[in-house]
């Protein structure tokens, strides 16, 4: 069975094991570790214009379809898992090139936090390589607002970044205290969780 026709149930973590991390949490943890812990451990969530726009962008690719693309195929909403890093989740799309090369594609409504989206896409590449046994040399973030594809190489160094992001989040989730505020106040004001997090009250 190939990755692109593996059912989601086959890649979910076993039982209620909370030590497995959602792939999407890598982006939140890279942008703001405090935000990631509030969402994952405490179940905090609040919608704003950005989250609604982002959800709408994902609905366009979360239908599970498979389409032809430049001699290859693109598969939408592909379930992924890494037993090594204990990550699980979905890729918005996985492209299979004409020669069989695989490439995960993460869709974002804007490129404002591209550095964080990069880690999420690289995490998908790690999962994809582990599940298929094939080398995955690139990960892509597609930004819908300007229709730009940002291609990131998958290297030993970038795989290490993914592992470090997962390890930081694991440690933060088991800590009795919330991580400190580390992002700029302007970014906090754009965060949908600002009224839950109260970041400005935490700053010196």
| Higher local confidence (pLDDT), 114 or 14 | 114
pLDDT of the residue at 47? 60
pLDDT of the residue at 57? 55
Q: Supply the CATH number for residue 123's domain.
A: 3.90.320.10
Give the chain's domain count.
1
Report d(CA 27, CA 67) in Å as an integer: 27
Distance of CA 54 to the CA centre of its chain: 13
Give residue-wise pLDDT tens across range 38-92: 999 988 877 654 555 555 555 556 555 666 666 789 999 999 999 999 999 999 9
Distance of CA 59 to the CA centre of its chain: 16
pLDDT of the residue at 182? 82
Helix (H) or strand (E) holding 142: strand 138-143
> Residue 8 — very low, low, confident or very high, per pLDDT cuts 50/70/90?
very low
pLDDT of the residue at 190? 83
3-class secondary-structure state, position 148: strand
Cβ pair 61, 76 in contact under 8 A? yes
Phi, psi of 47 (to 5 degrees): -85, 145
Q: Where in the sequence is the domain holding 127, given as residue range(s)?
A: 3-202
């Amino acid at each position: 069975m190939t990755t692109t026709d593996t059912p989601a149930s086959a890649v979910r973590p076993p039982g209620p094991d909370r030590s497995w991390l959602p792939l999407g949490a890598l982006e939140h943890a890279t942008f703001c570790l405090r935000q990631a812990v509030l969402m994952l451990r405490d179940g905090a969530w609040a919608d704003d214009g950005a989250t609604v726009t982002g959800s709408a962008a994902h609905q366009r690719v979360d239908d599970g379809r498979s389409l032809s693309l430049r001699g290859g195929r693109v598969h939408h909403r592909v379930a992924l898992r890494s037993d090594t890093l204990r990550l699980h989740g979905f890729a918005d799309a996985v492209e299979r090139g004409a020669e069989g090369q695989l490439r995960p594609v993460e869709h974002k409504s804007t490129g404002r936090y591209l550095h964080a989206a990069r880690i999420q896409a690289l995490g998908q590449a790690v999962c994809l390589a582990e599940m298929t046994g094939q080398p995955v040399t690139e990960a892509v973030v597609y930004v819908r607002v300007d229709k730009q594809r940002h291609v990131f190489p998958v290297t030993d160094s970038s795989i290490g970044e993914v592992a470090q992001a997962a390890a930081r989040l694991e440690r933060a989730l088991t800590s009795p205290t919330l991580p400190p505020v580390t992002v700029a106040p302007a970014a906090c004001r754009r965060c949908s969780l600002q009224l839950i997090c109260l970041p400005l009250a935490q700053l010196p």
